[in-house]
Amino acid sequence: MAMIRVEGLSKCYGAVTAVAEISFTVAAGEIVALLGGNGAGKTTTLAMLLGLVLPSAGRIEILGHDMARDRFAALARMNFASPYVALPARLSVAENLRVYGHLYGVAGLERRIRELAGELDLLAVLDRPAGTLSAGQKTRLSLAKALINRPAVLLLDEPTASLDPDTADRLRAWLAAYRAASGCAILLASHNMAEVERLADQVLILRRGAIIARGDPAALRREFGHETLEAVFLAIARGERREA
């Protein structure tokens, strides 16, 4: 089942095309990565999937719901994390999670908060204001917020930014385990090529708002004749592949 279905999605700002007629699906239990340089259209795509930005054309269907007509039915079973979106700084870690837990109607909320705090190494800072956390702690809090409702669809923007290598590695392992246990569909925007190679089943590479390459990491390496996904990304970013 396609948990996310995008067909002919476009976004224009006047004469500027931010996203150009992209189409893709994300199945249950699948992780799909969006790759691209700054301005490639990754953030705009995520914003349209969340309903924060209205498309200029195209269709988005999430969990069987048309996001143009029935997005609130899908949003209840979705969530989003980005270290670049700040949570209320004066609220404590626990208070932030309670607010979002109540918004999603999470049953057994205090148990869920303790569970996530333990898994994401936040137990020691549950009572600290979010504004006083380190960058890595804020990133882990953002992910805890995104998982509070056990989402069926998860959108992630640079989920391991600001984390040290050990913590980032453990977080990737936890995400993979959550996907395997829950069947969650994950759309991941990242600049971390090693992260994408480890986690992603499929990769979509964007340039100037269009998808110009797609496939699993191994297939893309073979297609471009490179040993790493980073080398593939650099080849596309430097225009070594003519756009379709």
The 10s digit of each residue's pLDDT in 44-93 is 999 999 999 999 999 999 999 999 999 899 999 999 998 888 899 999 99
Q: How far is it, in rounded angstroms, from Cα 84 to Cα 67?
A: 24
Q: Are 77 and 63 in contact (CB under 8 A)?
A: yes
Q: What string of DSSP letters covers 155-198?
A: EEESTTTT--HHHHHHHHHHHHHHHHHH--EEEEE-S-HHHHHH
Phi-psi category of 201—alpha, beta or left, where left has phi over 0 and alpha has psi -120 to 50? alpha
Q: What is the pLDDT of residue 59?
A: 96
CA 49 and chain centroid, separation: 11
Query: Which among 189, 192, 195, 193 is positioned nearest to 226, based on CA atoms?
Result: 193
Residues 6+ apart with CB under 8 A from 177: none
Question: What is the pTM (predicted TM-score) of this model?
Answer: 0.91
The 10s digit of each residue's pLDDT in 153-182 is 999 998 887 788 888 888 888 889 899 999
Q: What is the pLDDT of residue 238?
A: 77
Please give the CATH superfamily to which domain 1-67+162-244 belongs: P-loop containing nucleotide triphosphate hydrolases (3.40.50.300)
Average pLDDT over the chain, rounded to an integer: 92
Domain-wise residue ranges, the chain = 1-67+162-244, 78-150
Q: What is the pLDDT of residue 166?
A: 85
Return the SS3 of 99. helix
Q: Which among 143-157, 187-201, 222-236 has the top mean pLDDT? A: 143-157
Q: What is the pLDDT of residue 48?
A: 95
